[in-house]
A = this chain, B = another copy of it.
Amino acid sequence: MVSRNPRSCPAGRVGILVRTMSKPLERTEVVWHAHGVPREDREALNGHAGCVVWFTGLSGCGKSTVANHVDQRLMARRVHACLLDGDNVRHGLNAGPEMLADRGAEFARRFGLGFGPMDRAENIRRVGAVAELFAQAGLVTLVAFVSPYRSDRAEVRRRIEAGRAGSFIEVWLDAPLDVCESRDPKGLYRKARAGQILEFTGISAPYEPPPSPELHLRTDTAPPDQLADAVVAALSARGLIPAT
């Protein structure tokens, strides 16, 4: 039954291959269907709820920094968390055309994501779907994306809340554009001002503030560790993670 060094198989259509070379010696009459492990069992194992903490705000407002501080605090509390941000998503799941070029021009053109409104919508739709999977797996799922469009965030909220009411925590990290631009940690504002980046949020593309985020934090008047404390306190106050 188990072959750790299976025979080498020629490429081809296993259907045809199998039908000409074998009949099953014995056919088990087992009912073949799936019983999923419930989300609640995964959460019980972890000792806390699975949920999505969605950080939104301008480039340079501190999303990645605050999210990483939160991540560290959760680890210190033995809370099972993960972090989805541009660094690990835009280079994999939501790669741009230039990163898919080795798969051929048509593939890259069809599936690579840019920064126009429709591409941003698809970017956020995918990240939301993945965040939902992580929440269902019982993790406190930190998501740090500019996510400038209200309707895109609202659709993610709708899906996540449909799975579990109260499990979507929107955190607006709010700083004035000139503060974000003066930080310019990746040099993107400079390029956007020079016209080298098109459709840049805050410069040449809109940012639509959340009308009713669970948390609204100013990031120009407090350091990231204080902001992270506020996020962790909010998760605790909502009963999503243990109090201590």
Report which A residues bind B (CB closer than 8 A).
Answer: 1-4, 6, 8-9, 11-19, 22-28, 30, 32-37, 41-42, 45-46, 58, 60, 62, 64-65, 67-68, 71-72, 75, 78, 80-84, 88-89, 92-93, 103, 106-107, 110-111, 118, 121-122, 125-126, 129-130, 132-134, 136-139, 150, 159, 172, 174-179, 183, 185, 201-203, 206-218, 220-224, 226-227, 230, 234
CA distance A176 to B203 in the complex (A): 59
Asked if A118 and B126 sit within 8 Å, CB to CB, the answer is no
In the complex, chain B residues whose CB is within 8 Å of the CB of A223: 28, 30
CA distance A2 to B30 in the complex (A): 57
Q: Could you pull out 24 A-B pairs where Cβ atoms are within 8 angstroms? A: A1-B230, A3-B217, A11-B209, A12-B206, A18-B177, A27-B179, A27-B221, A28-B222, A32-B185, A34-B64, A36-B83, A41-B75, A42-B82, A80-B138, A82-B136, A88-B133, A88-B136, A89-B133, A107-B118, A107-B122, A110-B122, A111-B125, A134-B137, A137-B139
CA distance A198 to B196 in the complex (A): 45
Asked if B27 and A68 sit within 8 Å, CB to CB, the answer is no
* A208: nearest chain-B partner, CB-CB: B11
CA distance A218 to B19 in the complex (A): 15
Asked if B1 and A36 sit within 8 Å, CB to CB, the answer is no
The secondary-structure label for the interface of chain A is: mixed
CA distance A92 to B83 in the complex (A): 19
In the complex, chain B residues whose CB is within 8 Å of the CB of A118: 106-107, 110
Q: How many copies does the complex hold?
A: 2
Asked if A33 and B207 sit within 8 Å, CB to CB, the answer is no
In the complex, chain B residues whose CB is within 8 Å of the CB of A211: 8-9, 11
A9 contact from B24, B65, B177, B210, Cβ within 8 A: B210
CA distance A202 to B65 in the complex (A): 49
CA distance A89 to B136 in the complex (A): 12
Asked if A183 and B37 sit within 8 Å, CB to CB, the answer is no
